[in-house]
Amino acid sequence: MPRATVEHDDSPSIRGARLSARDRAGLAALRLVNGASRRSGRGQGTVAGGRVALRIAPRLLERLAYDLELALVSGTNGKTTTTACLTAAMSTRGPVATNDTGSNMLPGHVAALGNSTARVAVLECDEVWLSRAIPLERPGAVVVLNLSRDQLDRTSEVRHVARSWHAALASLEGTCVANADDPLVVSAAVHAPNVAWFAGGLEFREDASACPRCMARLHFDDDGGWHCECGLARPDPDAFLRDGTAVVDGTQVPFKITLPGAFNEGNGLAALLAAVRLGVDADAAAAAICSVTDVAGRFSELDVDGSRARLLLAKNPAGWSALLRLLADDDAPIVVAINARVADGFDPSWLYDVEFDRLAGRRVVATGERWRDLSTRLFYAGVEHTTETDPRRAIAVAGGAGRRVDVIANYTAFAALHGAR
Amino acid sequence: MLRVVTVYPDLLGTYGDRGNGIVLQRRAALRGIESAHDEATSDERLPVADIYCIGGGEDGPQQLAVERLEQDGTLKERAADGAVVLAVCAGLQVLGRSFAVSDGTRAGGLGLFELDTVASAQPRAVGEVVVDGAAGYLPLTGFENHAGRTVRDEALAPLGRVISGVGNGDGTDGALVGRLVGTYLHGPVLARNPLLADWLLALALDAGELAPIDDDPSRGLHDERLGVARRAR
Ligand SMILES: [Zn+2]
């Protein structure tokens, strides 16, 4: 596939790509809208600015991405954390442009690139938009983490997303960095001309019990291996974890990440492998990734009337499964907060895909705008609990005399608590 | 021993559908009725049960489920012998005569319901639904997410009337014949509708009305969702 045609006029260039008058107008609009919305205090405004810019200059994203060393990070869970880790690793060599959480579609990408002069970019990409982003941005690396059910009332079903990835990855010029443990990811990534596999784990098997290629039942071994009679099988990973180290392309590097949970080790490993394939020194990349702590408020702490609450974000069954496992060895009281706004998905049916039984015996308080759905779910899971309509009150009640409380919340419930700090 | 089986969660379990089996088993157990809930995957023989719950799924898995259920034979046999079947969303279509597939073709169903599901130019039906007069008298609340529209033969009764939402697409929702119950209210519909759950349990147990359950939060959930949907109209 030839590089996008670039108009050769006398316009100023951004990183080698010459911008047309139209592109420059788009860029000016981007900066104007973003500046205005920042000044008015209505958030970063990155999405609004990006949308306006793309309307004025539809090819602006291609132009901005031209000649950049660019990596995309996609998947149902772990995008934001992995993007932060890969950004940290790439930053060991110089400035990196990246998008803030929530602007992970094309307008957010335009905003991130248009507001930066860095020659390296690491962008989080919504899984449904990945197939559109790849041909426009021509990334040097695409990290695909996992694929499972998430907000089915507004996004496509997972097998449909996997098929769209297959088509886009087949023409990828860069390296596809893919999770060998997730059959849906593998079914798409095997079509990429250049793949590097990492052993990222699989938190949720429900969407991968039938083979994505032939729909026969997949066989899973106890050690994480899997295969199907049709020949689809777990590829040998190029990167995996072993006794507190990461092995990347046969070389062992120290790897003890600060972020909690096995799923975050997988995210960090994905970032490490991507960084190494993009030419970063493995030791430097590993050190940078291991120093990443709070990512967009995840695992940050909130103080409510003397109770210390650790904020945990879970958006879908796979995310919940990972967090419930993380909390299994703990005995802190737990506040669970569920909303069902547009960003959460309007349909909380997924509550029945989460093994809330794991919370039995713990002190549990159910809250959030959909506390009745949650309370009903906990009732059927046999988990004794109390309810509070107000999440902050729930934390105070759960914490009692200043105990540490773990709060698991879905997207807007999390954002409300994090924003209130 | 009351046996509840969730049919093929590996193929038809997209929207927390296992919730219906969980709800039925728990509501039986809370009344001291000996009961078990099993999830039967498509690579095993379907166990003999008193209540079968069939959920939703994508086109491909839905067709495969029909194929496996035809080969297996247990579901049809048990349905003829008086087992209770709750079929939601794609499950409803699976029990019908035929359904539309997204590539434009049609696929056969099990033919337990005299209905066909056809492609529609209308937008996908996504959102809250209220159904009234289900099984004669129950108001139901639920969520739907489906593309097809379902056409019943005149002799086949719907489950109820649609007050808000789409359902079958003709002002009715689902189908009801004997002990076979179909609805577009998808996923864990019984979690939001404890009276429907108890109605199914009573059918399976050949019991009259069942005693209410103490401190049952799902009653409050049912009333809240009905209230929200009514205010939105
Ligand atoms: Zn296969």
Return the CATH superfamily for domain B2-232.
Class I glutamine amidotransferase (GATase) domain (3.40.50.880)
Q: How far is the CA of A131 from the centre of ligand 1 (A)?
A: 23
Cα(B175)–Cα(B159) distance, rounded to whole angstroms? 5
Query: Which residue segment(s) compose the domain that A234 sits in?
Result: 68-290
Catalytic residue among B37, B146, B186, B222: B186
Residues of B within an 8 Å Cβ radius of A: 9-11, 13-19, 22-23, 26, 41-43, 58, 60-61, 64, 126-128, 143, 145, 186-188, 191-192, 216-218, 220-221, 224
Cα(A418)–Cα(A320) distance, rounded to whole angstroms? 18
Assess whether pLDDT exceeds 50 at residue A10. no
- Asked if A180 and A201 count as a contact pair (C-beta separation under 8 A), the reply is no
Could you tell me if A185 and A202 lie in one domain? Answer: yes
Calculate mean pLDDT across residues A289-301: 86
Shortest alpha-carbon distance between residue B127 and chain A (Å) = 8
ipTM value, please give it: 0.96
- Asked if A103 and A84 count as a contact pair (C-beta separation under 8 A), the reply is no
H helical segments located in A8-157? 21-39, 46-56, 60-65, 79-90, 106-114, 130-137
Shortest alpha-carbon distance between residue B155 and chain A (Å) = 32
Whether residue A352 and residue B145 make contact (CB cut-off 8 A), yes or no, is no
In chain B, the percentage of residues whose pLDDT exceeds 90 is 85
DSSP string, B162-224: EEES-TTTTSEESEEETTEEEES--SSHHHH-HHHHHHHHHHHHT-SSPPPPTT-HHHHHHHH
Rounded (10°) CA dihedral B9, B13, B16, B22: -30
pLDDT of residue A421: 56
Could you tell me if A126 and A274 lie in one domain? Answer: yes
Shortest alpha-carbon distance between residue B129 and chain A (Å) = 11
Residue A193, chain B, CB below 8 Å: the answer is: no
Shortest alpha-carbon distance between residue A290 and chain B (Å) = 36
Whether residue B14 and residue A379 make contact (CB cut-off 8 A), yes or no, is no
Average pLDDT for chain A: 88
Q: How far is the CA of A98 from the centre of ligand 1 (A)?
A: 37
Chain A residues 2-61 with a CB less than 8 Å from chain B:
none
Assess whether pLDDT exceeds 70 at residue A221. yes
Name the pLDDT band for B136 (thresholds 50, 70, 90). confident
Residue A126, chain B, CB below 8 Å: the answer is: no
Q: What CATH number did the domain enclosing A305 receive?
A: 3.90.190.20
Residue A256 DSSP class: -
pLDDT of residue A17: 62
Of the candidates A142, A138, A36, A169, the one whose C-alpha atom is nearest the C-alpha of residue A83 is A142
In chain A, the percentage of residues whose pLDDT exceeds 90 is 61
Q: How far is the CA of A157 from the centre of ligand 1 (A)?
A: 19
| Higher-pLDDT residue of B24, A36 | B24
* Chain A residues close to B216, C-beta within 8 Å: 379
pLDDT of residue A40: 58
Residue A379, chain B, CB below 8 Å: the answer is: yes
pLDDT digits (tens, 9 = 90+) for A84-101: 999 999 999 999 999 976
Q: Let me know if residue A106 belongs to a domain.
A: yes
Q: How far is CA A294 from CA A75, A121, A316, A418, in A?
A: 20, 21, 20, 12
Q: Catalytic residue at B53?
A: no
Residue A160, chain B, CB below 8 Å: the answer is: yes
Probe site for chain A from B218, B219, B228 (most A CB atoms < 10 A): B218
pLDDT of residue A12: 45
Assess whether pLDDT exceeds 90 at residue B30. yes
Whether residue B23 and residue A380 make contact (CB cut-off 8 A), yes or no, is yes
Could you tell me if A162 and A230 lie in one domain? Answer: yes
Calculate mean pLDDT across residues A364-393: 97
**Which member of B41, B192, B216 has the closest CB to residue A217?**
B41
- Asked if A121 and A91 count as a contact pair (C-beta separation under 8 A), the reply is no
Could you tell me if A74 and A173 lie in one domain? Answer: yes
Whether residue B145 and residue A153 make contact (CB cut-off 8 A), yes or no, is yes
Name the pLDDT band for A299 (thresholds 50, 70, 90). confident
Shortest alpha-carbon distance between residue B82 and chain A (Å) = 27
Structure tokens at B58: 């994508």
pLDDT digits (tens, 9 = 90+) for A105-163: 999 999 999 888 999 999 999 999 999 999 999 999 999 999 988 765 555 578 889 99
Whether residue B143 and residue A346 make contact (CB cut-off 8 A), yes or no, is yes
pLDDT of residue B230: 82
Cα(A9)–Cα(B180) distance, rounded to whole angstroms? 71
* Chain A residues close to B15, C-beta within 8 Å: 152, 347, 349-350
End-to-end CA distance of chain B: 43
Could you tell me if A262 and A346 lie in one domain? Answer: no
Structure tokens at A252: 């062992």
Structure tokens at A404: 């540490």
Name the pLDDT band for A343 (thresholds 50, 70, 90). confident
- Asked if A238 and A197 count as a contact pair (C-beta separation under 8 A), the reply is yes
Residue A247: Cβ within 10 Å count? 18
Assess whether pLDDT exceeds 60 at residue A4. no
Q: 């040998």: which residue's tokens?
A: A236
Kindly report the length of chain A.
Answer: 421
Structure tokens at A125: 């990409």
Q: Let me know if residue A296 belongs to a domain.
A: no
Of the candidates A80, A56, A17, the one whose C-alpha atom is nearest the C-alpha of residue A296 is A80
Q: 């639904």: which residue's tokens?
A: B129
Could you tell me if A61 and A77 lie in one domain? Answer: no
Could you tell me if A201 and A335 lie in one domain? Answer: no
Could you tell me if A218 and A252 lie in one domain? Answer: yes
- Asked if A87 and A96 count as a contact pair (C-beta separation under 8 A), the reply is yes
pLDDT digits (tens, 9 = 90+) for B52-64: 999 998 888 899 9
Name the pLDDT band for B35 (thresholds 50, 70, 90). very high
Cα(A159)–Cα(B67) distance, rounded to whole angstroms? 20
Strands (E), A68-203: 69-74, 96-98, 120-124, 141-144, 175-179, 195-198
pLDDT of residue A64: 92
Whether residue B217 and residue A376 make contact (CB cut-off 8 A), yes or no, is yes
Instruction: Provide the residue type at A57 as one letter.
Output: A
pLDDT digits (tens, 9 = 90+) for A32-57: 887 776 665 544 557 788 888 888 88
pLDDT of residue A3: 37
Kindly report the length of chain B.
Answer: 233
Residues around ion ligand 1, judged by CB within 5 A, are A 211, 213-214, 216, 228, 230, 232
Cα(A210)–Cα(A230) distance, rounded to whole angstroms? 12
- Asked if A199 and A234 count as a contact pair (C-beta separation under 8 A), the reply is no
Q: How far is CA A104 from CA A76, A257, B183, in A?
A: 12, 25, 36
Probe site for chain B from A344, A347, A355, A370 (most B CB atoms < 10 A): A347
Assess whether pLDDT exceeds 80 at residue A102. no
Cα(A83)–Cα(A149) distance, rounded to whole angstroms? 21
Could you tell me if A271 and A179 lie in one domain? Answer: yes
pLDDT of residue B13: 86
pLDDT of residue A9: 39
pLDDT of residue B193: 97
- Asked if A159 and A179 count as a contact pair (C-beta separation under 8 A), the reply is no
Cα(A37)–Cα(A227) distance, rounded to whole angstroms? 51
Calculate mean pLDDT across residues A319-338: 90
**Which member of A215, A350, A379 has the closest CB to residue B16?**
A350
Calculate mean pLDDT across residues B172-200: 97
pLDDT of residue A294: 76
Total number of domains constituting chain A: 3
Assess whether pLDDT exceeds 70 at residue A13. no
- Asked if A362 and A408 count as a contact pair (C-beta separation under 8 A), the reply is no
Rounded to 5°, angle at Cα A129 from A178 and A125: 55
Shortest alpha-carbon distance between residue A183 and chain B (Å) = 14
Could you tell me if A229 and A373 lie in one domain? Answer: no
H helical segments located in B12-101? 18-29, 59-72, 74-80, 90-95
Whether residue A379 and residue B218 make contact (CB cut-off 8 A), yes or no, is yes
Assess whether pLDDT exceeds 90 at residue A223. no
Domain finish residue from A13, A37, A66: A66
Name the pLDDT band for A1 (thresholds 50, 70, 90). very low
pTM score of the predicted model: 0.82
- Asked if A172 and A151 count as a contact pair (C-beta separation under 8 A), the reply is no
Per the DSSP assignment, residues forming a β-bridge with A366 are A336, A387
Name the pLDDT band for B233 (thresholds 50, 70, 90). confident
Calculate mean pLDDT across residues B150-173: 97
pLDDT digits (tens, 9 = 90+) for A248-288: 999 999 999 998 888 999 999 999 999 999 999 999 999 99
Q: Let me know if residue A260 belongs to a domain.
A: yes
Cα(A106)–Cα(A47) distance, rounded to whole angstroms? 9
Q: How far is the CA of A230 from the centre of ligand 1 (A)?
A: 4
